[in-house]
Amino acid sequence: MSLQKSTDTANTADASEKPFVFSWRRFILHASILVIGLFLGWLTWYFSKPQSVRFYETKVDEYLSVSVTPEIEIALDAGSSIAITDNQPMLIELFKGNVYFNVNKNAIEKFRVKIGEAMVEDVGTRFSIRMNKNDGKVVSVAEGQIKIHVATGTFMISALEQAHFDNFKLSGHRLISESEVAPWIALQQAVSE
C-alpha cells in the first residue's frame, strides 16, 4: 500500500513540475475569445439606448392637452389614444380618435405621425388628424404645410385644406375654413366657459 501511495505522489509531482510551453494556437484562441467578448460588450452598450414611450388616452367624456416639447402642443379629443416615442425624429402614433397639433413655426424638433401604414410629416404648422370608425382618416391643416406618405406617393397639404386618406391613397382634397380644422377644440372651450 505504501508503494502505491509513493507512485501516486510521484505522478502528481511530475504533472505539477511540467514546464509551461508557449503555444501560438492557444494564444490566438484566448485572444480571439477576449476580442469577441469585448466586441459583443461594445455592441450591447452602443445599441442599448433605452427608448422612451409615453401613452396618452382620453375617456369618452374627457379632453386632454399635452405639451410634448416647448414647441409642440397636442390636444386629444374625447375617446382618443396616442403613443409618443422619443426617437429622432420623434414618432407619434395615433391609435384611435382625433388629435390636434399646434407646432411653433420655429420648432427645431421635427416629428412624424403614424396612422396605420400612412405617415404624416410635420413642416412647422397647426393641423388635426381624425380617425373615423369606418377606417377613414381625415387630415386638416390650419397653418403651414404637411406631407402625407401613403402607398401611392407623397402629397403636400397646405393651410386651410383638408384631405381624406387611407393606407393607400389620398382623396377628397378640398378647401376648408379654420373652424373645420379641429371642431372639438371650440366645443371644449365653450363647455369650460
Which set of grid coordinates corresponds to residue 67?
A: 405639451
Enumerate the domain spans of the chain: 2-47, 53-192
Per-residue pLDDT reduced to its tens digit, 107-141? 777 889 999 899 999 876 899 999 987 778 999 99
Using alpha carbons, select from 100, 104, 54, 103 the residue that is nearest to residue 75.
Answer: 100
Specify the pTM.
0.71
Kindly tell me if the per-residue pLDDT of 10 is higher than 80.
no
Which set of grid coordinates corresponds to residue 3?
A: 508503494
pLDDT at 136: 84
pLDDT at 13: 53
State the Cα–Cα distance between residues 72 and 66, nearest whole angstrom: 9
Per CATH, domain 53-192 is 2.60.120.1440: yes
Per-residue pLDDT reduced to its tens digit, 51-99? 788 999 999 989 999 999 888 999 999 999 999 998 788 899 999 999 9
pLDDT at 193: 64
Q: Averaged over 145-159, what is the pLDDT?
A: 93
**Long-range contact list for 86-95, CB < 8 A, 24+ apart?**
86/51, 86/52, 86/53, 86/54, 87/51, 92/68, 94/129, 94/131
